[in-house]
């Protein structure tokens, strides 16, 4: 765009580049100064004359200087016929008037419409940006919730570990019980064996003693014993008879 605002901004990159390189030298990765977009056009006087021109004159000539210079220059150009007022002058004048009327009449309407369109585009961009921000903040919230859930999972893991420990303990005790009962069974068997052995040996000893005692009794002794028994019985019978 061929405007003064664009020309003014076009002069800036040099300084921006200088500050940028300085900033880069001073602090690598530091904040870089960005080009600022001029939101409003430069100041003008009389509708189209840049304010800078008047400022240029102000220090030397005061307020009226630039006006005097302008009027004087135009008068000089016209009176010396450096500027010739031929047909183009009149068509230019008409075009100027037409342009002023058009700008005054149509300008606000078109500006309003264009600003509306710009606002629409801006709000679209903003909407997109805000949607993105919302998505990101939602993601952060979700991440926090997930972390909280992960903490819960730790608790769960603790509980599971405890559960496993309990199960291990139970299994250990069951096995210990198994061992105990198995050992007891074997010991009981041993005890039973001893009992049987003892009973058998006792029985055998009784049998042996009886056999030997019976064998040791001679027929004489048997006879004497029998006689003695008969005598005892007779004595007993006498005693009973007398009683």
Partner 1 sequence: MMTNLFSVFDPSAIFNFSLNWLSTFLGLLMIPSIYWLMPSRYNIMWNSILLTLHKEFKTLLGPSGHNGSTFIFISLFSLILFNNFMGLFPYIFTSTSHLTLTLSLALPLWLCFMLYGWINHTQHMFAHLVPQGTPAILMPFMVCIETISNIIRPGTLAVRLTANMIAGHLLLTLLGNTGPSMSYILVTFLLMAQIALLVLESAVAMIQSYVFAVLSTLYSSEVN
- Residue numbers of the site for partner 1 (CB under 8 A)? 1-2, 6, 37, 85-95, 97-98, 101, 110-111, 114-115, 117-118, 121-122, 125
Q: Which is nearer to partner 1, 78 or 233 (CB)?
A: 78
Cβ neighbours of 49 (radius 10 Å): 14
Say which residue the tokens 């570990």 belong to.
Answer: 161
DSSP 8-state code for residue 84: -
What is the distance between the alpha carbons of residues 105 and 81, in angstroms, rounded to a whole number?
35
Minimum Å gap between C-beta 15 and partner 1 is 17
C-beta of 39 vs 242, nearer to partner 1: 39
Q: How far is the CB of 156 from partner 1 (least distance, A)?
A: 50
* Nearest distance in Å: CB 58, partner 1: 31
Identify whether the C-beta of residue 42 lies closer than 8 Å to the C-beta of residue 8: yes
Indicate the angle between helix axes 65-79 and 51-61, nearest 10 degrees.
Answer: 100
Asked if residue 40 lies in contact with residue 9, where contact means CB atoms within 8 angstroms, the answer is no
User: Which C-beta is closer to partner 1: that of 93 or that of 136?
Assistant: 93
Q: How many CA atoms lie within 13 A of 168 on its CB side?
A: 6
Asked if residues 33 and 16 have their Cβ atoms less than 8 Å apart, the reply is yes
Total residue count of the chain as it appears in this document: 243
Phi-psi region of 47 (alpha: psi -120 to 50; beta: other; left: phi over 0): left
- Work out how close the CB of 9 gets to partner 1 at its nearest, in angstroms, rounded to a whole number: 9
**Cα angle 201-203-209, degrees, rounded to a multiple of 5:** 100
Q: At its nearest, how many Å lie between partner 1 and the CB of residue 97?
A: 6
User: Could you tell me the smallest distance in angstroms from the CB atom of residue 100 to partner 1?
Assistant: 11
Question: Which residue number, 119 or 151, has a Cβ lying nearer to partner 1?
Answer: 119
Of 85 and 236, the one with the shorter C-beta distance to partner 1 is 85
**Residue closer to partner 1 (CB basis): 62 or 96:** 96
């Amino acid at each position: 765009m061929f405007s003064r605002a664009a020309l003014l901004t076009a002069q800036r990159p040099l300084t921006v580049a200088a500050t940028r390189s300085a900033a880069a030298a001073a602090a690598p990765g530091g904040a870089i100064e960005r080009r600022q977009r001029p939101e409003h056009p430069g100041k003008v006087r009389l509708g189209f004359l840049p304010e800078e021109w008047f400022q240029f004159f102000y220090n030397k000539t005061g307020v009226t200087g630039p006006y005097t210079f302008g009027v004087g220059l135009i008068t000089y150009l016209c009176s010396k016929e450096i500027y010739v007022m031929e047909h183009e002058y009149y068509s230019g004048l008409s075009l100027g008037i037409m342009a002023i009327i058009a700008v005054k009449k149509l300008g606000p309407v078109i500006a309003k419409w264009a600003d509306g369109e710009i606002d629409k585009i801006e709000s679209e961009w903003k909407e997109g940006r805000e949607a993105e921000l919302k998505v990101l903040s939602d993601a952060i919230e979700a991440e926090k919730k997930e972390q909280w859930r992960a903490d819960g999972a730790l608790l769960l893991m603790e509980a599971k570990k405890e559960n496993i420990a309990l199960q291990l303990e139970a299994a250990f005790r069951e096995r210990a019980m198994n061992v105990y009962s198995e050992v007891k069974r074997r010991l009981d068997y041993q005890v039973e064996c001893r009992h049987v052995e003892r009973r058998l040996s006792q029985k055998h000893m009784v049998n042996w003693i009886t056999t030997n005692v019976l064998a040791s009794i001679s027929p004489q002794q048997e006879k004497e014993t029998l006689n003695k028994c008969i005598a005892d019985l007779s004595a007993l019978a006498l005693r009973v008879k007398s009683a």
